């Protein structure tokens, strides 16, 4: 299922974006020089692709899981571990709040930038 997801859905990102599996069922997507509006556009592209894509499993079509995301902007001089913790915390907040959503960790807390679609 992860292969279908990676090839069928996550392939929509730009050539200079970095998409990598980040343990378990998580993927990390680094979007360099990308503002919040463009993050939303990327998320929408993923959501549209998910709606149109199904995988074959045991000769049956299977819908792919939803896409929840945690977002944080990397601060100049920030310790990498701190940055990853903020992104991970935002992802778990998105999942805890029902999934299929994007949550942003702004340093002081969370803000939902897009509700369920």
| Concatenated DSSP letters of the chain | -HHHHHHHTGGGS-TTSEEEE-STT-EEEE-TT--HHHHHHHHHHHHHHHHH-EEEETTEEEEPPP--EEE-PPPTT--HHHHHHHHHHHHHHHHHTTSSSEEEE-SSSEEEEE---
- Looking at residue 102, its pLDDT comes to 83
pTM for the predicted model, two decimal places:
0.74
pLDDT of the residue at 113: 56
What CATH topology corresponds to 2-114? Answer: Alpha-Beta Plaits (3.30.70)
Q: Which residues are catalytic?
A: 25
Would you list the domain boundaries of the chain? 2-114
pLDDT number for residue 79: 93
pLDDT value for 28: 85
Can you give the pLDDT at residue 55? 65
List the pLDDT tens digit at each of the 117 positions of the chain.
777 777 777 788 888 998 888 888 888 888 998 887 888 888 888 888 877 776 666 777 676 677 788 888 888 899 999 999 999 998 899 889 988 888 888 765 555 555 443
């Amino acid at each position: 299922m992860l292969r279908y997801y990676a090839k069928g859905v996550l392939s929509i990102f730009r050539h200079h974006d970095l998409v990598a599996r980040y343990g378990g069922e998580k993927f990390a997507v680094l979007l360099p020089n990308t503002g919040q509006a463009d993050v939303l556009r990327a998320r929408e592209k993923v959501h549209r692709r998910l709606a149109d894509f199904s995988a074959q499993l045991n000769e049956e079509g299977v819908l792919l899981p939803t896409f929840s995301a945690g977002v944080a902007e990397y601060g100049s001089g920030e310790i990498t571990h701190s940055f990853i913790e903020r992104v991970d915390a935002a992802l778990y907040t998105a999942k805890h709040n029902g999934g299929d959503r994007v949550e942003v960790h702004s340093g002081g807390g969370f803000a939902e930038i897009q509700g369920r679609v």
